[in-house]
Structure 1
């Protein structure tokens, strides 16, 4: 396939439901794109397997040379019931004289008492003149009715948040000095001398990098009172809807350490967001000595659903800015039993104006994912 320079290519989604004793061999192949084009390739194959199969082979193969490329390959195998079979997933990339991003994702999930055998393979051939960022992710999840096996520990993702406007030069700064984020925390609205709000253009740029967006609402400086919590939550919902943030995404109230805070605000925020199509989240320094920590526990006493359903993004402890490669072990501080799935472990980098974070992979389910 030859591409006219400057054009964009987008490959579609292939979904299959499989049952019975059968074999499949699925190939998505994008050959020899050798002009200096802007290339976007997204290959997604989903195999939903009900019952028994002989063998399912899925192969995605990309050959790209010259130009700028954003390649994303996704293979998802879902086994259900008490069947059996062999499921093989393979991703092959041959990249030369190309810059950009390459992401390979393989997810295998089994529910029930089936006996499925999975094999996964990712092969990246990068030529001497390739300047491309590569991330490979393989996730295996299994649960059965006859003695559930222990779930694997969720993967921890590195990410950033920033009050600055998101541009290509900003991304270049982050990648050159820190690493390649998976999650990007950004503000819903602009506050003069404080934060630059998200725009549709910035959303498109962040998602084009394959990054998830964590939406932050900070258009207040007083976190006290139930009605105040309700009103701020309603305003956040309005911003989210205007931006086109899909349902199921968590909106995080930014409670800074200088703000007064009480349990009623937390309850008002949580109950209003939870009654909408969005999920509730709260950011702050959840140090046990802080008023936020104590107010959160008091709010839980009034409504235990806060403990079970509200997502916490904590800035405690603060161990300092690092690169992605030097990030600490995931060790957030927050109320016992809470959904503390995000940790801002370093703040105020001198370069690029970012904070550095770690995110439990479970949080990705309630972030604004690319393509949604």
Structure 2
């Protein structure tokens, strides 16, 4: 009995020892499993991050480096999946370095899968076409800049010239052609100034083109630019809006700097000083010079509005070119032009007088201008 008692105690002790070992191993395996799960999440997160950062769309040299290291030490089944995908849309040189290092020290089965995929797309042919277009655009801009530079040089030379006291000219809402030039020369004279409109206004006037301007220049005349795309001249913002549109049209034609643009304020249009202030502020801040056309009869609303605008800004009277249609004494030939006696606001920069309108032949009006206006004409 005594020996049996000892045997029982030893057996129970052994069972207790085995239980402790088993429980400890179980906890260790759970710890390793948890560690591996966290590691797998970290690896997947790292791979996902590398995938996003490796997607490039650039024309410069690309250098991509992906490094993934897995350190596993423990007991149990292991499954590790490393996936790297690099998507590159590039025209430049690419360098890709994918490095995966797995350090495994376990006493069980391990399954490892490393997948690397590089997708590289080149747009060299497409970019070749784009570069060609850029080159063409660059050449066009270069030619345009050269043309504008030549025009500006001509304007500078004109400023140094001695102009005649007065010059005769015409203006017309019709397109200038060889036939029209011949009509004017045969019936009226040889104009030094030819007034034409910026942009077409439906059923009112045809806009001038570059080719037409060149024809006028070839005939020895300068172009006086008229802007008439409004029917009321009310409000400061309205004045600014119309001025910006006039500038846009002039720039599209390649009109050089320091050329005057005349706002056409017809006698039937309502007008106030705010419009004139807006027109002046925008045009005077641009490469161009502000001008106004209208019937500057002392009893007209235009004169009242102009004087009020000049009171708000004294530079308006000094720097705005006035082309007045008052008084109207009728169309004449160049040889029979009247004595220069225009009506305009006192102290204003009066540059021209449209003394006769609606000629029966050639669809023109006749004008006299101070010779110095030639320096602000195109």
Q: TM-score, normalised by structure 2?
A: 0.57
- Give 1:184 deviation, angstroms: 0.4
CA distance in 2 between counterparts of 1:341 and 1:261 reads 21
CA distance in 2 between counterparts of 1:200 and 1:183 reads 16
Q: Is 1:254 the counterpart of 2:264 in the alignment?
A: yes
Matching residue of 1:363 = 373
Matching residue of 1:210 = 220
Q: Is 1:197 the counterpart of 2:210 in the alignment?
A: no
Matching residue of 2:321 = 311
Q: Is 1:287 the counterpart of 2:305 in the alignment?
A: no
CA distance in 2 between counterparts of 1:171 and 1:282 reads 26
Alignment match of 2:190 (pick from 177, 180, 199): 180
Where 2:238 maps in the other structure, the secondary structure is helix
- Give 1:309 deviation, angstroms: 0.4
5+ residue gaps in structure 1? 1-74, 79-106, 109-138, 140-153
- Give 1:318 deviation, angstroms: 0.4
Matching residue of 2:250 = 240
Alignment match of 1:342 (pick from 335, 352, 355): 352
Alignment match of 2:166 (pick from 156, 168, 177): 156
Looking at secondary structure, tell me which structure has more helix per residue. Answer: 2
CA distance in 2 between counterparts of 1:302 and 1:157 reads 33
Higher relative contact order (Cα pairs below 8 Å, separated by 6+ residues): 2
5+ residue gaps in structure 2? 1-156
- Give 1:365 deviation, angstroms: 1.1
- Give 1:200 deviation, angstroms: 1.2
- Give 1:191 deviation, angstroms: 1.1
CA distance in 1 between counterparts of 2:283 and 2:322 reads 14
1:248-305 per-position Cα deviation (integer Å, ceiling 9, x unaligned): 0000000001100000000100110000010000000000000001110000000000
- Give 1:341 deviation, angstroms: 1.1
Q: TM-score, normalised by structure 1?
A: 0.58
CA distance in 2 between counterparts of 1:191 and 1:341 reads 25
Matching residue of 2:285 = 275
Q: How does 1:1-372 map onto structure 2 within 5 Å?
A: 155-368=165-378
CA RMSD of aligned residues (A): 1.5
Where 2:189 maps in the other structure, the secondary structure is coil
Number of residue-to-residue matches in the alignment: 221
CA distance in 2 between counterparts of 1:274 and 1:209 reads 30
CA distance in 2 between counterparts of 1:186 and 1:338 reads 23
- Give 1:166 deviation, angstroms: 0.6
- Give 1:210 deviation, angstroms: 1.3
